[in-house]
């Protein structure tokens, strides 16, 4: 099969012909019909995130947002058969630990992420191996195609879970910091729930896209003081503020944009500059009873509600797809990401 591999950090990926994966007794092989090119893949290519254990040995095939069709299953797989249309969360759970048993495999003690940990190849390939298939595979409804599934695979489901973790209610003011893939997804979800959404970014094109996805107000962080602007718009501050970027400035701006009793949701992981640590106003958080909430991925059981909303047309991840590409165009997308030129999702649909 054809696969795009990271051979060296910050060097072009190589398209190679490699052996097709073979399933173990509990596994499945998926024929990939669509795979998103995520900024998390770009971070792996950059060599980031070693401080949280996401520093795979090279070479490796990236790609953790994919949808496709079951090609082959192991002898012990009971719930899926060849021909089934499926997707997976980007976080592969063991199915046995305390957190998997509680229904929150995004916190699995043995969590693995496709193409971001050694030994688990990703979806920039014609086929991909899914371990513990009965636990990790998600069946796609009839009205959700593989491109939509790839768009859901990391950024959209992460934005969805972040809004759920923020306990957003109809009428709430919700500030979304960063109008990239995760941010636009969160805007779409919050809007669907009846929230009043404010988008924050430094790119006017992205802010215009945010309006199209339901933001009723936008703030250009290059031109305005973000907390002051949000407090003026909301007459006191947002009930919920979500940081989709992980930059020290956006974390701080998000917290300072809240009203008393507000909830900050941290979705974006930090860059090499922060190395996992940022300064926050602890006294303000304490005195204002602000909640600081971490959010990662989307637990497998929560896919039921998410996919039903997509199937019913209330959410439309496919609308955020900037373009469909060939496997050979991945390097171009990575270069565009380096220059912050991407707008929405780039999805590999041809191998």
The chain-wide mean pLDDT, for the chain, equals 95
Would you say residue 12 has pLDDT above 90? yes
Burial of 156 per CB tally in 10 Å (0-12, 13-18, 19+): buried
Would you say residue 335 has pLDDT above 90? yes
Would you say residue 54 has pLDDT above 80? no
Please tell me the distance from the alpha carbon of residue 212 to that of residue 293, in angstroms, as a whole number: 27
pLDDT band at 271 (very low <50, low <70, confident <90, very high): confident
Of 28-32, 129-133, 272-276, the one with minimum mean pLDDT is: 272-276
Given this model, what pLDDT does residue 220 score? 98
Given this model, what pLDDT does residue 347 score? 97
Given this model, what pLDDT does residue 96 score? 97
Given this model, what pLDDT does residue 166 score? 98
Given this model, what pLDDT does residue 146 score? 97
CATH number of 2-155+298-350: 3.90.180.10
Would you say residue 94 has pLDDT above 90? yes
Q: Averaged over 11-35, what is the pLDDT?
A: 97
pLDDT band at 300 (very low <50, low <70, confident <90, very high): very high
Of 88-102, 186-200, 206-220, 272-286, the one with minimum mean pLDDT is: 272-286
Would you say residue 334 has pLDDT above 80? yes
User: Does the bond joining 59 to the residue before it have cis omega, within 30 degrees of 0?
Assistant: yes
Given this model, what pLDDT does residue 275 score? 86
Q: Averaged over 303-308, what is the pLDDT?
A: 94
Would you say residue 296 has pLDDT above 90? yes
Would you say residue 273 has pLDDT above 90? no
Would you say domain 167-294 falls under CATH 3.40.50.720? yes
pLDDT band at 266 (very low <50, low <70, confident <90, very high): very high
Instruction: Assess contact for 256 and 281: CB atoms under 8 A.
Output: yes
Q: How do residues 168-225 score in pLDDT, each as one tens digit?
A: 999 999 999 999 999 999 999 999 999 999 999 999 999 999 999 999 999 999 999 9
The DSSP secondary structure of 93-133, one letter per residue, reads P-SSSHHHHTT-GGG-TT-EETTTSTT---SSBSEEEESSH
Better-predicted residue by pLDDT, 52 or 120: 120
Instruction: Assess contact for 337 and 329: CB atoms under 8 A.
Output: no
Given this model, what pLDDT does residue 351 score? 93
Given this model, what pLDDT does residue 341 score? 86
Given this model, what pLDDT does residue 342 score? 87
The domain spans of the chain are 2-155+298-350, 167-294
Pairing of strands 127-130, 28-37: antiparallel
Closest to 177 measured CA to CA, from 218, 208, 144: 218
Q: Averaged over 119-144, what is the pLDDT?
A: 96
Would you say residue 52 has pLDDT above 90? no
Q: What share of the chain is helix, strand, coil (3-state, %, to 5)?
A: 35, 25, 40
Given this model, what pLDDT does residue 326 score? 97
């Amino acid at each position: 099969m054809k696969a795009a591999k990271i051979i060296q950090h910050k060097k072009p990926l190589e398209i190679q012909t490699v052996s097709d994966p073979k399933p173990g007794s509990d596994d499945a092989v998926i024929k990939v019909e669509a795979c998103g090119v995520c900024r998390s893949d770009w971070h792996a290519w950059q060599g980031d995130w070693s401080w949280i254990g996401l520093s795979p040995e090279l070479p490796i095939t990236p790609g953790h947002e994919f949808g496709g069709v079951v090609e082959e299953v192991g002898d012990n797989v009971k719930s899926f058969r060849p021909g089934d249309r499926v997707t997976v969360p980007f976080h592969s759970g063991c199915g046995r630990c305390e957190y998997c048993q509680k229904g929150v495999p995004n916190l699995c003690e043995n969590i693995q992420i496709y193409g971001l940990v050694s030994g688990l190849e990703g979806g920039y390939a014609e086929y991909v191996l899914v371990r513990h298939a009965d636990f990790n595979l998600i069946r796609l409804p009839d009205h959700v195609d593989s491109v939509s599934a790839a768009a859901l695979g990391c950024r959209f489901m992460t934005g969805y879970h972040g809004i759920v973790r923020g306990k957003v209610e109809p009428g709430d003011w919700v500030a979304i910091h960063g109008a990239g893939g995760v941010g636009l997804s969160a805007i779409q979800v919050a809007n669907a729930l009846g929230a009043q959404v404010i988008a924050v970014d430094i790119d006017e094109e992205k802010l215009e896209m945010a309006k199209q996805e339901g933001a009723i107000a936008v703030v250009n962080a290059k031109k305005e003081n973000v907390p002051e602007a949000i407090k003026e718009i909301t007459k006191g501050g947002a009930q919920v503020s979500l940081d989709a970027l992980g930059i020290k400035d956006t974390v701080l701006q998000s917290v300072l944009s809240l009203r008393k009793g507000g909830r900050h949701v941290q979705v974006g992981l930090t860059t090499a500059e922060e190395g996992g640590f940022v300064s926050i106003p602890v006294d303000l958080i304490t005195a204002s009873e602000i909640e600081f909430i971490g959010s990662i991925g989307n637990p497998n059981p929560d896919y039921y509600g998410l996919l039903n909303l997509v199937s019913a047309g209330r959410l439309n991840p496919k609308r955020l797809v900037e373009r469909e590409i060939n496997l050979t165009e991945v390097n171009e997308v990575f270069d565009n990401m380096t220059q912050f030129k991407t707008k929405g999702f780039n999805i590999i649909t041809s191998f």
